[in-house]
Amino acid sequence: MRGTATDPDCSSAPGHRRLRRAAGALASAALLLPLLGAAPADSGSPVTRLQRAFAAAADQYHVPQSVLLAVSYLQSRWDAHAGAPSVTSGYGPMHLTDARTALTDARTALADAPHHSEGTEDARGDSARPALHPTSDVPTQAGLPPRLRTLTRAAELTGLPPERLRTDPAANVAGGAALLAAAQRALAEPPSADPADWYGAVARFSGADDTTTAAAYADDVYDVLRTGEERTTEDGQLVALVGHPELVPDTAQLKRAGLRTVSAEGTECPATVSCEWIPAPYEVFGQGDYGNHDLGDRPASQSIRYIVVHDTEGAWDGVLNMVQDPAYVSWNYTLRSTDGHIAQHVKAKDVAWHAGNWYVNAKSVGLEHEGFLANPDAWYTEAMYRTSARLVKYLAAKYGIPLDRRHILGHDNVPGPTTSTVPGMHTDPGPYWDWQHYFTLLGRPFERAALAGDNGMVTIRPDYASNRPTYTGCVTSGQACASHGSSEVRLYSRPDTASALVRDIGTHPTSGTSTTDVDDIGSRVSTGQQYAVAEREGDWTAIWYLGQKAWFRNPAANPTAVSAAGAVVTPRAGLAEIPVYGRAYPEASAYPAGVPAQALSPLPYRLFAGQKYVAGEKVPGEYYYAVTFDTASHRVVVGQDQYHEIQFGHRVAFVRASDVQLLSP
């Protein structure tokens, strides 16, 4: 866009919203005007420092301000993150990458040890087979691709010190503008004032080395240009971009970009993303061992009910090396941080080993997102959020998976299948994954239920940017992490922040004592999760959680939860307590000859009379027997016993339908 940086009709609104009004004759004319550094005097909108920085950088490097704003939105949603790096060492509003230290420091944002190599979780989670704790050497990384060292190039182009590019948002924006201008020159394109003439430069800015990924990134940027955006950043700065629905970019420029071609043949991805097939091996190795997944016939033989969101705890190249190792484990898709590119490894019909619970593995698709739970203050790019949301919407529509937090799980929401496995279950993607934004991209934002009164059920929904609970252990055990927006809300034993955190006897079997460690989910609830209300007292709300009352601050002026509607379960009349399970397995009599019956194995928790828990769908007990490379012995066993999935703690759990009474709204 040319001319003003803000839209006078909507600039005073707080927060974020899309600007979908037609540009009209005035806005169309603005496309042909020189860039201005501020809004008109009569707009009624204060022009923030960051908005001025975009105008100044656009003017200095002769890049359309609208293009610069749209690229930055797709990188960071205009957040500076106080100079902290992203999950791939990207800094500032333009996500200028500086991953040089990753070659020597395994705890930087490009560490190469994926999380399946850490801890005690058996990624396969099938007690019918020996526990699988894979290890594998990561090949030495010889160098970093250009997409991971754009900050160095920006420093060369601008003459600004790298440290200033990392920490000064205005300098960072200037660095991004310089990179876009350099990409335009490399394509032998003039510094046009028309945003339509910058498609090729935007595609190159992505850092992708193939045409499909670069085009998908550029298409996203131009979608932002067409629809417009307005948002107040984490540090309180209003930034706006007026939408121009009529904008049609010159996509032919991409043919001159010199990028390689990547085929999507064999992939199961929507047409709106860039996707390539990098298969996980199904082969025998060693003494009859095989890996790294099981062949299946889903959804014909068994339904796909879950999508599990992971982070890789490792860099793109190293993670791809792992999933191609038959002695390692597998997941279905990996998503790249810088541009949202997707690699598919396991077909949806087959069962990958990723979630630590065989029942969930057999009924899920696993998505690994390049990044880190905490490192020490890591954030995810908008490009990866958007691509992931498109993939999830595609899979959910194809397999009939509901778009809610009982079916779209984090790895940290997957229950341990048995008591002994609970302490070792993984906790990614962690408190810094923005579930509210993610579900907004999915078209299912978490809204307050329209109710005549209080029906005793809530959806957790804090404001991500301002919700900043203290975590420890991001770098050093016991030491406070950097302040960061969070999707999670802390739970206390009484309505008082000075009281003890709620106990988790599964995660802490000796003491039950929960901590503030970033990996300790024993006293936390997450955005989008729903719970039955146990009590209210002033600004505090208590929910039923792991068999006890758990309190969290929920002031009316700034609520961390909103009213919800749905079914709950409570123990059947006459039962003082009932067992809780980490998997919904069939009764022993359901197993045919040749298939060993699997133990039901209740978890160490109990659901007590008078307590209520939000119920998911009712499902039969089911077990996928697949313990040999030869698929002839594979069987799907379905029982008569029925289960309800419930939101029991931070993780989901299962209760037998015969043990509970279902209370519908």
DSSP string, 313-343: SB-HHHHHHHHT-TTS---SEEE-TTT--EE
Residue with more model confidence, 89 or 405: 405
pLDDT at 110: 42
pLDDT at 121: 87
Going from the N-terminus, what domains does the chain have, and what CATH number goes with each?
Answer: 17-100+144-256 (1.10.530), 263-417 (3.40.80.10), 569-663 (no CATH)
pLDDT at 571: 98
Average pLDDT along the chain: 89
- pLDDT surpasses 50 at 102: no
pLDDT at 119: 63
Give tens-digit pLDDT for 372-429: 888 766 799 999 999 999 999 999 999 999 999 999 999 999 999 999 999 999 999 9
pLDDT at 194: 98
- 103: which DSSP letter? G
Give tens-digit pLDDT for 133-166: 776 655 555 578 899 999 999 999 999 999 999 9
Please state, in angstroms and rounded to a whole number, the distance separating the CA atoms of residues 427 and 414. 9
Q: Bridge partners of 285?
A: 289
Lowest mean pLDDT among 129-143, 312-326, 549-563: 129-143
Residue with more model confidence, 2 or 579: 579
- pLDDT surpasses 90 at 11: no
pLDDT at 130: 87
Count of residues making up the chain: 665
pLDDT at 118: 63
Please list the alpha-helical segments (H only) found in 421-558: 435-441
C-alpha 283 chain-centroid distance: 31
Structure tokens given for 521:
């989910």
Q: In which band, very low, low, confident or very high, does the pLDDT at 286 lie, cut at 50, 70 and 90?
A: confident
Lowest mean pLDDT among 29-38, 75-84, 171-180, 649-658: 29-38
- pLDDT surpasses 90 at 488: yes
Mean pLDDT of 617-622: 96
Q: In which band, very low, low, confident or very high, does the pLDDT at 28 lie, cut at 50, 70 and 90?
A: very low
Give tens-digit pLDDT for 52-82: 999 999 999 999 999 999 999 999 999 999 9
- pLDDT surpasses 70 at 541: yes
pLDDT at 431: 95
Residues of the chain with pLDDT > 90, as a percent, come to 81
Q: In which band, very low, low, confident or very high, does the pLDDT at 15 lie, cut at 50, 70 and 90?
A: very low
Please give the sequence-ordered ranges of beta strands (E in DSSP) within 501-633, or none if there are none.
524-526, 530-537, 540-545, 548-553, 561-563, 568-571, 577-581, 602-608, 613-625
Task: Give the DSSP H or E segment for 367.
Answer: strand 364-369
Mean pLDDT of 309-313: 94
Structure tokens given for 429:
């993607």
Q: In which band, very low, low, confident or very high, does the pLDDT at 87 lie, cut at 50, 70 and 90?
A: confident
Q: Which of 463, 464, 508, 458 minimizes the C-alpha distance to 485?
A: 464
Task: Give the DSSP H or E segment for 218.
Answer: helix 211-227
- pLDDT surpasses 60 at 430: yes
pLDDT at 452: 60
Q: In which band, very low, low, confident or very high, does the pLDDT at 113 lie, cut at 50, 70 and 90?
A: low
Mean pLDDT of 352-372: 97
Residue with more model confidence, 24 or 385: 385
Q: Let me know if 143 is exposed, middle or buried by CB neighbors in 10 A (0-12, 13-18, 19+).
A: exposed
Please state, in angstroms and rounded to a whole number, the distance separating the CA atoms of residues 430 and 115. 13
pLDDT at 636: 98
Q: Which contacts of 501-508 are long-range, i.e. CB under 8 A and separated by 24 or more positions? A: 502/545, 502/546, 502/548, 502/550, 502/551, 503/546, 503/548, 504/546, 504/649, 505/546, 505/604, 505/605, 506/416, 506/419, 506/422, 506/423, 506/546, 506/603, 506/604, 506/605, 507/422, 507/423, 508/423
pTM as predicted: 0.91
Lowest mean pLDDT among 24-28, 278-282, 283-287, 548-552: 24-28
Amino acid at 222: Y
Mean pLDDT of 32-49: 46
Please state, in angstroms and rounded to a whole number, the distance separating the CA atoms of residues 453 and 475. 45
Q: Bridge partners of 524?
A: 490
Mean pLDDT of 206-234: 96
Q: Which residues contact 256 (CB under 8 A, 6 or more apart)?
A: 187, 188, 200
pLDDT at 104: 39
- pLDDT surpasses 50 at 109: no
- pLDDT surpasses 90 at 612: yes
